[in-house]
Amino acid sequence: MNILDELRTRFTPALLAWTDDPSSVIEMLKASQDAKFGDYQANFAMPLANRSKELKPRDLAAQIVEQVDLSDVCEPLEVAGPGFINIKLKQDWLEDQTKQLVTDDRLGVATAKSPQKVVVDFSAPNVAKPMHVGHLRSSVIGDANYRVLQFLGHDVVGDNHIGDWGTQFGMIIFGYKHFLNEAAFQESPVEELARLYRLVNQLSDYHATRNTIPTVQNEVEQLESKLKTMEAANNPSDKKSQKQLKKLKSNIGERKSELTSMQEKLTAFEQDKDLQSKADTFPEIARLARQETAKLHAGDPENLDLWKQFLPECLEAIQVVYDRLDIHFDMTLGESYYQPMLADVVADLKEKGLATESEGATCVFIEGFKAPFIVQKQDGAFTYATTDLATIKYRVEELKADRVLYVVDSRQSEHFQLLFATVKEWGFTNLELQHVSFGTILGKNKRPYKTRSGDTVGLESLLDESIQRAYAIVAENDDAKPDGPELRKEERTQIAETVGLGGIKYADLKHNRDSDYVFDWDKMLANRGDTATYMQYAYARICGIFRKGNVDRPTLRNEHTMLNLAEESERALALQINRYSEILESVAIEARPNYLTNYLFELSNLFSTFYNNCHVLKAEDENVKTSRLLLCDLTARVIEHGLSLLGIRTCERM
């Protein structure tokens, strides 16, 4: 049962005396932060009293309490402080609820009353290049949301909206035409295409860097002369100007170090004679690559053939990563799929008077936005925006979607705001659209995470490294066991895989997705603290209890007679187990898997406290022992299930 939901439902009629819209305040009934205020707490008396101005919040709270009948579920409700309502569940009711979970495969989680068709648009790499660390977040956050929604009974479609039609294809086509290593291509097309992509990227980056250096130099000179003037006029007692001076100096420092690293990059590049000669041959490589893309889009047969030849190779390469990550999609309709529909989209927008010509381009202007939504450029090319509009039309008309989640970097938030606003005006008003945005993964220097040499980190090598590090940890723990190591080599390898991949995923999911986070191996794989490893150990530890006590878990569940939560730590653990359902529903509403990671962390902590305070196998009597074993069983099941919804596995021994 979703206890929170139940409490809110029971309170709602009592609120009608004070507001026409109880839903506006009902979320102020929440789990309480501190057990001394009860299990749940309702704070709505304060805003309601403010609005009605008839009663003091405390008196209003008292009136609400009089009208709500929760005597079957809760101890008498208490009004505290200025008007808080403290709610404590009855012991026998909680015991009874917990007992019901023992034989419930769904761990108390009901399926949605009105299931929706939900499209989760996630991962979506541009496939002409190998996947890198930047693709991790969308893949992992998208997958977790997918799994949670599906478990809640929604009809979920995972769509990998890959970039298979963009400028990167022009780059590999250009590379293929000019720099192909035939033998390497025969041997491994994917690797050769990746090499060509990197090469063309490197060459155009070289020219771009060379062209920007003078500008930056110029800027530095100007800043330095400004500094001189300021220093000459400096008044040491004027705090404001000291501050400005300091800021200017640090700005100059930053720009200079940028300049140095640009120059270093050029020097390194120029030392490679072969690269240098290629760069000299194609000073306009960026424009030439764009030209290849334009030819592809215009239907040039040669480029189209190459594209058709390359695409399957690119898809195969990303599939390898998805297999390792255990991530699945129901469809992979990339940008190319929508190309035939784009002209109609623009025509329709024009016909409805939504899109207008502006400086040769076709744009949708939405009130409140500075930039227009450009659906066709001056040169006639359609855009990312046009494709997204066509995609929505397809998802509504063909897939019958009720809701679409876009799991995409927060840097695209303006695009999605414009997209959603345009779609509304276009007439798709019954569709729920949500940008599930996320921040960047940073290195310890607080800049986007890169390798030591400044390259992007490949996703596969990241996974390899994590598994390797996990192996070392697993081996060390096993070697340190008091009765000697118990794991075979294959077992260690398998556990390392589970721990390594789980660690990476968990570290990504546990943060509020909107914020950036710093990638840190040691924190991520630590045995203690808010990590997957900690929970995986808690799970394995519980499995160990059952092994040691020779307990058959299914039999235990079927024969259970007793559930007794006399100890404080037993009660707290049971309450947390009962909250699983409300947590999953909150994840589903806001598409925030970190609510689930928080919950699981708290659960593992409560288990630890319980296990430290209460004997399980050596409990004082058989009934108490059974009851505690049932709590262990439920904890293990919730951890295992919760982690599985995050795409993370568990091991019975570690």
Residues that bind ligand ARG (CB under 6 A): 121, 124, 126, 161, 163, 388, 391, 406, 408
Instruction: Give the shortest CB-121-to-ligand ARG separation in angstroms.
Output: 5
Instruction: Give the shortest CB-35-to-ligand ARG separation in angstroms.
Output: 43
Residue 27's region, left for phi above 0, alpha for psi from -120 to 50, else beta, is: alpha
Instruction: Give the shortest CB-412-to-ligand ARG separation in angstroms.
Output: 7
Residues facing residue 408 across a β-bridge: 437
Instruction: Give the shortest CB-395-to-ligand ARG separation in angstroms.
Output: 10
Taking the least distance from each CB to ligand ARG, the nearer of 392 and 524 is: 392
Instruction: Give the shortest CB-476-to-ligand ARG separation in angstroms.
Output: 39
Dihedral of CA atoms 186, 191, 196, 202 in degrees, nearest 10, equals -160
Q: DSSP H helical segments within 340-487, as ranges?
A: 342-351, 384-397, 413-426, 459-479
Give yes or no for a contact between 44 and 15, defined as CB atoms under 8 angstroms apart: yes
Instruction: Give the shortest CB-398-to-ligand ARG separation in angstroms.
Output: 15
Taking the least distance from each CB to ligand ARG, the nearer of 161 and 297 is: 161
Give yes or no for a contact between 520 and 514, defined as CB atoms under 8 angstroms apart: no
Q: What angle do CA 185, 186, 191 make, to 5 degrees?
A: 40
Return the closest-CA partner of residue 332 out of 125, 470, 519: 125
Instruction: Give the shortest CB-351-to-ligand ARG separation in angstroms.
Output: 24
Would you list the DSSP string of 314-329?
A: HHHHHHHHHHHHT---
Instruction: Give the shortest CB-469-to-ligand ARG separation in angstroms.
Output: 28
Q: Is 205 helix (H, G, I), strand (E, B) or coil?
A: helix
Pairing of strands 517-518, 441-442: parallel
Return the closest-CA partner of residue 282 out of 210, 204, 171, 382: 204
Taking the least distance from each CB to ligand ARG, the nearer of 303 and 391 is: 391
Instruction: Give the shortest CB-454-to-ligand ARG separation in angstroms.
Output: 21
Instruction: Give the shortest CB-321-to-ligand ARG separation in angstroms.
Output: 15
Pairing of strands 432-438, 373-376: unpaired
Instruction: Give the shortest CB-169-to-ligand ARG separation in angstroms.
Output: 13
Return the closest-CA partner of residue 600 out of 644, 557, 568: 644
State the amino acid at position 519 in one-letter form: F
Taking the least distance from each CB to ligand ARG, the nearer of 117 and 256 is: 117
Would you list the DSSP string of 12-43?
A: HHHHTTT-S-GGGTGGGEEE-SSGGG-SEEE-
- Measure the CA–CA gap between 374 and 355, rounded to whole angstroms: 9
State the amino acid at position 221 in one-letter form: E
Taking the least distance from each CB to ligand ARG, the nearer of 408 and 577 is: 408
Instruction: Give the shortest CB-17-to-ligand ARG separation in angstroms.
Output: 46
Return the closest-CA partner of residue 291 out of 389, 191, 203, 379: 379
Instruction: Give the shortest CB-387-to-ligand ARG separation in angstroms.
Output: 8
Give yes or no for a contact between 117 and 302, defined as CB atoms under 8 angstroms apart: no
Instruction: Give the shortest CB-389-to-ligand ARG separation in angstroms.
Output: 10
Taking the least distance from each CB to ligand ARG, the nearer of 128 and 496 is: 128
Taking the least distance from each CB to ligand ARG, the nearer of 124 and 441 is: 124
Give yes or no for a contact between 417 and 366, defined as CB atoms under 8 angstroms apart: no
Instruction: Give the shortest CB-388-to-ligand ARG separation in angstroms.
Output: 5
CB atoms within 10 A of CB 183: 8
Would you list the DSSP string of 335-360?
A: GGGGGGGHHHHHHHHHHTT-EEEETT
Taking the least distance from each CB to ligand ARG, the nearer of 185 and 394 is: 394
Taking the least distance from each CB to ligand ARG, the nearer of 70 and 314 is: 314
State the amino acid at position 338 in one-letter form: Y
Give yes or no for a contact between 595 and 156, defined as CB atoms under 8 angstroms apart: no
- State phi, psi for 188 to the nearest 5 degrees: -145, 95
Give yes or no for a contact between 604 and 534, defined as CB atoms under 8 angstroms apart: yes
Taking the least distance from each CB to ligand ARG, the nearer of 46 and 321 is: 321
Say how far residue 251 (Cα) sits from the centre of its chain.
33
Taking the least distance from each CB to ligand ARG, the nearer of 64 and 396 is: 396
- Measure the CA–CA gap between 159 and 142, rounded to whole angstroms: 10
Taking the least distance from each CB to ligand ARG, the nearer of 172 and 596 is: 172
- Measure the CA–CA gap between 363 and 345, rounded to whole angstroms: 12
CA distances (Å), origin 180, targets 274, 393, 605: 14, 40, 56
Taking the least distance from each CB to ligand ARG, the nearer of 97 and 332 is: 332
Taking the least distance from each CB to ligand ARG, the nearer of 156 and 524 is: 156
Return the closest-CA partner of residue 194 out of 184, 206, 183: 184
Taking the least distance from each CB to ligand ARG, the nearer of 383 and 466 is: 383
